Structure 1
Amino acid sequence: MKAAKGPVNFDSTERCLGGVTEFDDTPPWIYQLDNPYLHGVYAPARHEIAAENLPIEGELPLDLEGAYLRNGPNPVFQPKNRYHPFDGDGMVHAVYFRDGKASYRNRLVRTDALLAEQQQGHSVSPGVMGPFDYGVSEFGIKDTSNTDVFCYKGDLVTLWYNAGNPFLLDGRTLESKGSFTLEGRRRRRLSAHSKVDWATGELLFFDYGDELPYLTFGVADAAGNVLHEVPIELPGPRLPHDIGFTTHYAILHDLPFFHDLEVLRRHKLRVLTFHQDIPTRFGIIPRCGNTGDVRWFECEPCYILHVSNCWEAGDWVVMDGCRSTNPMPDAQAGDGELAHMLAYMRLEANNYRWRFNRVTGEVREGDIDDLNTEFNKTNPVFHGVKSKYAYHQRIPLLSEGGHTLRFTGLVKYNNETGQSTQWDYGTGVFGSETVYAPKPGANRSSEEDDGYLTTIVTDSNTWQSECLVFDARDITVGPICRVQLPQRVPSGFHASWARGEDLWGIAG
């Protein structure tokens, strides 16, 4: 680590988590830009590396077999305009666990947009905040595939925050394998948080846009063949971020937080508005149901980024997730041209439960807890059936110093009781989305929390990154082992667990 340099003019050291820091592996143009999402724990990594036999503090469980995978923004070139984290090129970091050893590798997602910019040697995209030079450049907003990552058919699929074109990575090496396509589907585009049902191997996917049909929903089998896809009728273009599923149904989202279509058409500007006078709607559709089979349920106005789990309970469908009643907080004076981006990236959400009666149409909803948490994950073995545990990231509010999105602690919820336990990452230590890693052979007759939790943390005091492994039954004792990573891992977005049997054809 070196001393800071360049005209960086932060008015608060807390805003960039301890001040501007120069790293040996950071591109020099970073220090010319006054943007907190390019500095400190957000500064991009410059190197793609692979390392075996990583140093381990504590005891690595022998029955931890698989990989912790995490995607996130990692800009390669200096942004053409104002930088938003959604603009950063996707980079996947993976920690592999096998035979009591751990290894690490990271690779950029070589999207069409990144390859085009590498050919030109500089950034071409205007970025999601513009200004947009329509008529001058046909490049458009860069689809970075930097948001989500999941294992499907033994390889990895990466997805973008907005519905984008997914890309395929080798599950063992992270090498790019080009575009991801589903057999029998005309278009490539998928939204982030299309998801695999471990019980069937099926991929439940959705796609949305500004033109009719505004939303489609489909199912592909475990071999990548589309079984079913239907358009979903909506009153206009929407921005759903996730879906839920049960054994027999999918739960679709129609949320009152969307762009003004007339402004978009006339001025090519995307103006997000939270319409507090429009109910939130959730649509329940049989997995292979038709457009007319969707049953919509109206709820209190809100936005929902991430679902924890859903299941059927008699005539009821239950959905747990994180609910936001303020998806666009007020911009702060002094934040300048980045004010709206910084406000949008600050998450204000809490653990919540919705219940929908498919016979009577009744809706019951309410808080599970009021703590500000998000990036919620559950045991994927239990996805679609009744579960009680969820693992969230604690996020400081603006009043608590949360000027940028950051994770300061792990929270384990018992959603049946609302009780929770926490593990604080430590002063100046910031985490990643934490995923549940089941033991080999685990099934729905196993204890739901008899497995492990894995995450990556970066310590801004030392700029070292580690992969932490917890016993999911009790996080309050802290990590049972710490795996030292060979380079600093920038803060990112979503993570997932790939089982050893899916990566290497083993069950343990």
Structure 2
Amino acid sequence: MGLPAQHPKYPTVNHCVGGVTRFDDAPDWIYSLDNPYLHGVYAPVTGELAAESLPVTGELPADLEGAYLRNGPNPQLPPKNRYHPFDGDGMIHGVYFRDGTVGYRNRWVATHALAEEQARGSSLSPGVMGPFDYSVSPFGIKDTSNTDLVYYHGDLISLWYNAGNPCRLDGETLATHGAFELPGRRHARMSAHSKVDWATGELIFFDYGDEPPYMTYGIADRTGRLVHETAIELPGPRLPHDIGFTRHYAVVHDLPFFHDMDVLRKHHLRVLTFHRDIPTRFGIVPRYGDGGDVRWFECEPCYILHVSNCWEEGDWVVMDGCRSRNPMPQARPGEGELAHMLAYMRLEANNYRWRFNLRTGEVREGDIDDLNTEFNKTNPLFHGEKSRYAYHQRIPLSHEGGHTLRFTGLVKYDNETGRRWQWDYGAGVFGSEAVFAPRRGAGRERAEDDGYVITLVTDSNSWQSDCLVFDARAIEDGPLARVHLPRRVPFGFHATWARGEDLYRA
């Protein structure tokens, strides 16, 4: 795809021999910017397309029905300031399995902010790295809706990492139908990692911000009706990223990694600091409880991006997830004005378990494994109930050559024993968050890992992108099927699985 061109500052960032590749399907403006998150496997694509009856190597399972849907940054216009991946306009890539055939579609999330910029022909947002001059931006920092997805009440909902305003999309066409709102809320804002409980159909959500109340928590029922919302008292503005839930409780996070509000107000800068002298707190609140009902548990200082699952065991609430002891690794010399962004995106985390005793207040915590992994997913049929398997992405550490965030392999964990199984994507091949896809019509009567694990990969040697389908019981055997996609798919953030019985019959 095009001719190789030497990039002045990051000659090997896209892992291609000879420098950064010029793509026929990428915007020309990216080549004038020294930013590794705009090149190689991160390079945005231009245009939207749809294709049916895709070629497959291997054999598709007969009982695989539904869609793998993945969100991620794909900027349309040159950034006004320094580019951060959170600034890239959300684009959804969907791979659809139905009646033994596979289709593909990609589409931008048509946010209000993107429409404003398209109308003016230029970027207006200062971006998450600033400088924060809002005088020319009618919406402040652009809510790109580029981070996560949930399928709820017949809609695909796109979400932004910084508690943005969710968008409603059609799960099949990926057309944006406007803002997702729950009548009765004061505002539509919602965290990127709000959750759907497949057992009840409920949407379990939270929100956070820079002004009191610093967090809210709520529930909408399976019909799309808001049934509960309450303020959660925090010491100040925080940056929680995820939430957990069990059959009877939700687990909210108060983490010692946040920005200085005085600096933000005086100098319009967001300066994130990891406060190693402040404990991490997890709050357990009855599912329909008020803010005053939260029971807080103090743990070792850390940051947690993503929860795998939570459940109850007698007096204990158990939470599995990925724990980072160092959410802001040291910036490297020579990386210039992007040094802190690059350090933040170089994710260091490992598989971890916390246990909270609701009767005695005791906390037990510790490693499940020390391998650097994240973007952890589990079988959604077992969310809120005891589970043992999780599917993570292997992430190279800095000393292993990790210049940018990238996924080099799929890791399956047995969280009861700590055993792991791995499948390496291959030299120069980079993956996406994997989802667990239950067999068509499956419930909890099946074994927890009786189903499929699905991910996207892009090979930087050929720039071919494929969708891989694994037997969840034997990922180390490699994919059962490899679906060859009709276009290059850039690196992205989070994915979800929409069941065929929900998506095609909604």
CA–CA separation in structure 2 for the residues paired with 1:265 and 1:79: 24
User: Residue 409 of structure 1: CA displacement?
Assistant: 0.2
* Unaligned ranges ≥5, structure 1: none
1:16 is paired with a residue whose SS is coil
Which residue matches 1:456? 456
User: Residue 476 of structure 1: CA displacement?
Assistant: 0.8
Q: Is the 8 A contact 1:8 1:33 kept in 2?
A: no
2:457 is paired with a residue whose SS is strand
CA–CA separation in structure 1 for the residues paired with 2:245 and 2:22: 44
1:83 is paired with a residue whose SS is coil
User: Residue 264 of structure 1: CA displacement?
Assistant: 1.2
User: Residue 134 of structure 1: CA displacement?
Assistant: 3.4
CA–CA separation in structure 2 for the residues paired with 1:65 and 1:200: 21
Q: How does 1:52-451 map to 2 (within 5 A)?
A: 52-451=52-451
Which residue matches 2:9? 10
**One-letter identity of the residue aligned with 2:15:** L
User: Residue 443 of structure 1: CA displacement?
Assistant: 1.4
**One-letter identity of the residue aligned with 2:332:** Q
Superposed CA RMSD: 1.0
Q: Is the 8 A contact 1:214 1:233 kept in 2?
A: yes
User: Residue 62 of structure 1: CA displacement?
Assistant: 1.2
**One-letter identity of the residue aligned with 1:302:** C
1:482 is paired with a residue whose SS is strand
User: Residue 12 of structure 1: CA displacement?
Assistant: 4.2
User: Residue 339 of structure 1: CA displacement?
Assistant: 0.2
Q: Is the 8 A contact 1:390 1:412 kept in 2?
A: yes
Which residue matches 1:45? 45
Identity across aligned pairs (percent)?
Answer: 74
Gap change, CA 1:442 and 1:136, over 3 Å in 2: closer
CA–CA separation in structure 2 for the residues paired with 1:129 and 1:183: 33
CA–CA separation in structure 2 for the residues paired with 1:185 and 1:281: 26
CA–CA separation in structure 2 for the residues paired with 1:135 and 1:360: 53
User: Residue 8 of structure 1: CA displacement?
Assistant: 3.1
Q: 1:324-379 CA distances to partner (integer Å, 9 max, x unpaired)?
A: 00000000001000000000001000000000000000000000000000000000
Q: Is the 8 A contact 2:146 2:159 kept in 1?
A: yes
Q: Is the 8 A contact 2:10 2:36 kept in 1?
A: no
Q: 1:360-415 CA distances to partner (integer Å, 9 max, x unpaired)?
A: 00000000000000000000000000000000000000100111000000000000
Q: 1:473-498 CA distances to partner (integer Å, 9 max, x unpaired)?
A: 01011000000000000000000100
TM-score by length of 1: 0.98
CA–CA separation in structure 2 for the residues paired with 1:170 and 1:43: 26
**One-letter identity of the residue aligned with 1:159:** L
Q: Is the 8 A contact 2:259 2:273 kept in 1?
A: yes
Q: 1:274-320 CA distances to partner (integer Å, 9 max, x unpaired)?
A: 00000000000011001110000000000000000000000000000
Q: How does 1:478-497 map to 2 (within 5 A)?
A: 478-497=478-497
TM-score by length of 2: 0.98
Q: Is the 8 A contact 1:374 1:395 kept in 2?
A: yes
Runs of 4+ in 1 over 2 A off after TM superposition: 134-139
CA–CA separation in structure 2 for the residues paired with 1:267 and 1:217: 31
**One-letter identity of the residue aligned with 2:7:** V
CA–CA separation in structure 1 for the residues paired with 2:183 and 2:224: 6
CA–CA separation in structure 2 for the residues paired with 1:154 and 1:94: 16
2:123 is paired with a residue whose SS is coil
Q: Is the 8 A contact 2:215 2:234 kept in 1?
A: yes
2:262 is paired with a residue whose SS is helix
**One-letter identity of the residue aligned with 2:8:** N
User: Residue 266 of structure 1: CA displacement?
Assistant: 1.5
* Unaligned ranges ≥5, structure 2: none
2:103 is paired with a residue whose SS is strand
User: Residue 11 of structure 1: CA displacement?
Assistant: 4.6
Aligned length: 504
CA–CA separation in structure 2 for the residues paired with 1:280 and 1:128: 25
1:338 is paired with a residue whose SS is helix
